Copies of this chain bind each other. A is one copy, B any other.
């Protein structure tokens, strides 16, 4: 917490910026960057059942993971059917979302893959309600549902749970905590591989409805977000926060958020 005036602030107040420890003068104005491919692409309807195996296989393919799996099952399969521009995308980039971005456990990569696919076809005004629907469904639905049959990487049955959060850390850790299954096991990976197919199917269902002009979200704002939003939000008493995630996992005083650095366990 830097509340006083630091050397850096002092320097920036003088019109310069500190870069790598050296003072450089303020940047000249630059033209807004050009957008060589700034237009959203045309979406095509897809068959969720036909795309699901691509998501599950994509999860395991080269170890690229959940984000790649969902994204390829949408944009990749569109490319296999319709060619350019869909098949020109550098799909390897989508490995970025694996394990919540390089194992950091932030956003569930499957959800990032779906939101990224949405962003190919719809700007934020159209897209945000689609993301809301997908993310709220994810928070509340017992997953995984999909069964890959002979393509399963483990013989085990995969128990389900409700993640309650769109964050990889909470989603995976809560599943492991409730099932007792090692977060580093192949069973947990297969859980995420199947969940990748679930997210892809739900995302395609949302996209198809959007294309048909019948999209209408089924999931209302979470109770906690509505409750907290009464005071915390734009134009409210405390307009100091940002976000649409369910507030409950981190702000309801559960045992999990108590002080784990003293007298624990």
Contact = CB atoms under 8 A, between A and B. Distances in A.
A191 B48 CA distance: 41
Given A33-B57, A173-B243, 10 more contacts: A2-B160, A38-B91, A101-B111, A101-B115, A105-B244, A167-B167, A173-B240, A183-B239, A183-B241, A251-B261
Contacts of A35: 61-62, 91-92
Nearest to A164: B1
Given A88-B88, A100-B243, A257-B253, A49 B177 contact: no
Q: How many copies of the polypeptide does the oligomer hold? A: 2
Contact of A79 (B36, B72, B98, B258): B36
B148 A27 contact: yes
A14 to B, nearest CB: 9
Nearest to A123: B95
A99 B17 CA distance: 25
Interface in A169-198: 169, 172-173, 176-178, 180, 182-184
